[in-house]
Amino acid sequence: TCRMDSKSARAYLDIDLNGNRAAYARACAFVEATNMRHGWSSKDLKSLGGSELARVPEAYECDYDWKDKGRIMTCLPNERIVIELFEKDCPVTVKNFKALCTGEKGKGKNSIPLHYKNCRFHRIVSGFVCQGGDFIMQNGSGGESIYGKKFKDERNGLKKKYDARGLVGMCNTGKNSNSSQFFFTFAPQPKLNGKHVLFGRIVQGMDVFDMIEKQAATTLKEDGKPNIEVVIADCGLLGPPKKK
């Protein structure tokens, strides 16, 4: 149901799983601060060679000033998800999503930035969906569109079928109640057909998406409260894919 369009707009979400970015920043700060003490060849973690890099965790664990500040990572994993947006079929929905990825509209009526950056995925249900986009309350009870109010379902988006893993749809509380919350499907979800506007799909970063389900997902019984924090650390737009 969802053919690749070479002219499609694409958005990216850089995911922070379980505070990996803070752990990496901690390692960078440690190397910079202990350069003289440990005799690193550089104050910059990125410039250290392989054997030196391997020594950093051990040095950190033995350092009384640092070891209790939290875990470290010496290499930041690539945690980017790229989404193809079905702009032609869902222009209103995609315009909203794109603007929330760039933050270009500034603050909304709640005086909170209309931006997915630093927004967490608050509900991650194994085999079902990964739900986020509530940058107002961060728990699924809020959300705000760039239009200042809830916006209507687009018919072409309702016609598409949730027949695969990695499809992107709008959350709602009934007909014509879209704001900023969205979800990814972990598997085909025919029950969502005709009820939730389907406006995109993951085209890169499926390994990151797999990791989210493996590490963070819980069951419906647990209401999908994530095992670990999954946050959109950064987001924005990419140009259409280059033709091969």
Q: Where are the domains of the chain?
A: 9-17+79-238, 20-69
Distance CA 232, CA 46 (A): 23
Q: Please state the φ and ψ torsions of residue 197, each to the nearest 5 degrees.
A: -65, 125
Q: Which helix (H) or strand (E) holds 210?
A: helix 206-216
Q: Which DSSP category does 177 fall into?
A: -
Our measurement of the distance from residue 76's CA atom to the centroid of its chain's CA atoms, rounded to an integer in Å, reads 16
| pLDDT tens column, 72-109 | 999 998 899 999 999 999 999 999 999 999 999 999 99
Average pLDDT for the chain: 94
Task: Work out the pLDDT band at 1, boundaries 50, 70, 90.
Answer: very low
Average pLDDT rounded to a whole number, residues 48-56: 93
Is 5 a residue whose pLDDT tops 80? no
Cα angle value 87/208/84 (rounded, 5°): 10
Catalytic site residues? 123, 128, 131, 172, 183, 192, 196
Is 2 a residue whose pLDDT tops 50? no
Average pLDDT rounded to a whole number, residues 40-67: 94
Strand order in the sheet with 230-238: 123-124, 129-132, 182-185, 167-170, 198-204, 80-85, 9-17, 230-238
Q: What percent of the chain has pLDDT over 70?
A: 95
Task: Work out the pLDDT band at 220, boundaries 50, 70, 90.
Answer: confident
* Nearest Cα residue to 232 out of 86, 106, 81: 81
pTM: 0.91
User: By the 8 A CB rule, do 157 and 198 touch?
Assistant: yes
Q: Does domain 9-17+79-238 have CATH number 1.20.210.10?
A: no
Distance CA 135, CA 114 (A): 8
pLDDT for 244? 54
* Nearest Cα residue to 179 out of 170, 187, 188: 170
Our measurement of the distance from residue 208's CA atom to the centroid of its chain's CA atoms, rounded to an integer in Å, reads 10
| pLDDT tens column, 117-172 | 999 999 999 999 999 999 999 999 999 999 999 999 999 999 999 999 999 999 99
Average pLDDT rounded to a whole number, residues 169-179: 98
Task: Work out the pLDDT band at 242, boundaries 50, 70, 90.
Answer: low
Task: Work out the pLDDT band at 243, boundaries 50, 70, 90.
Answer: low
Side-chain-side CA neighbours of 26 within 13 Å: the count stands at 17
pLDDT for 221? 79
Instruction: Return the higher-pLDDT residue of 69 and 6.
Output: 69
